[in-house]
Structure 1
């Protein structure tokens, strides 16, 4: 049995497992799981693609900042953030002030294997989606490296095994998680 003292913000690339591992982690810790993108969609009553198209990315990023802030100030939970959320210094700042960030680190080739058949990834709607993903990984890695903790993903691990790995990393932080 565990007691989570701060919200755990899962960060990383699309396909890293933020939602799947985050959901399993929340079950293990017996806390709620929340997804910042889903909360934005609920509040706006339209898809992220529609928000981007109608209101633009700056509008979306402002709503993202507000939603992440609200979720961080709620009771401790596991929070899945959008792949671009942690790139913004203001989001990293509020996550650092009110929670802990966990980077689900995965090799670009593993990410590609996971996302290549998905049609729900607007950033990959390009002439060469594989190269786009590789470029995104390279561009975003410096920001992800700023996360409080990094947990490496491997292709042979189940979602539950990854969640257990995250618990192990969190246990190194008594200010965040303790066994009771």
Structure 2
């Protein structure tokens, strides 16, 4: 896709399931581009003074999604950013719409099995995988969300690729599309 002078790319949003590598890839991509990186979960935690798991436990998922939408609307006003939202961010259509036409959306694909394997290294941080069968929960969530993630302009698998490799592919795609704004 050639560059669109009416809507230059000012933001990149990394979509995908939990543990797809959005945070690490986002930080590396921002470094390559000389842009800022916004990890939306960390931003919400900073504002709330609590961890995401604590927000889920005390206030519920619906309240967390409201906080996420508010932080997204504020982030959408900025340019020169790479945004790494949580895996469920895409379930609210208004979030992607808020970022506008100057945003390149990228789906970082990961299997449910790989997501559970990666998430196991940080127990307690994935409230939607809590329960007796994390793999079944991951498969169900991924099946529900895959059609939403598929709306992204660019699809990349993160399995067998490091965050640096994925970031380099995205940077090359940005350059092919006329470069970042």
TM above 0.5, one fold?
Answer: yes
> Which residue, 141, 144, 148 being the options, matches 1:139?
144
What's the RMSD between the two structures over aligned residues?
1.9
Aligned length: 173
1:177 corresponding residue in structure 2:
180
Whole-Å separation in 2 of the counterparts to 1:20 and 1:81? 12
Whole-Å separation in 2 of the counterparts to 1:144 and 1:17? 14
Shift in alpha-carbon separation, 1:109–1:54, aligned structure 2, 3 A: closer
> Which residue, 65, 72, 82 being the options, matches 1:68?
72
Task: Please list every run of at least 4 consecutive aligned residues from structure 1 whose deviation after the TM superposition is greater than 4 angstroms.
Answer: none
> Which residue, 159, 172, 181 being the options, matches 1:168?
172
Gaps of 5+ in 2: 1-7
1:153 corresponding residue in structure 2:
158
Whole-Å separation in 2 of the counterparts to 1:101 and 1:126? 31
3-state SS of 1:64 partner: helix
Shift in alpha-carbon separation, 1:31–1:49, aligned structure 2, 3 A: same
Gaps of 5+ in 1: none
> Which residue, 43, 51, 56 being the options, matches 2:55?
51
Q: How does 1:8-47 map to 2 (within 5 A)?
A: 8-47=12-51
3-state SS of 1:171 partner: helix
Whole-Å separation in 2 of the counterparts to 1:73 and 1:95? 8
- Tell me the TM-score normalized by structure 2: 0.86
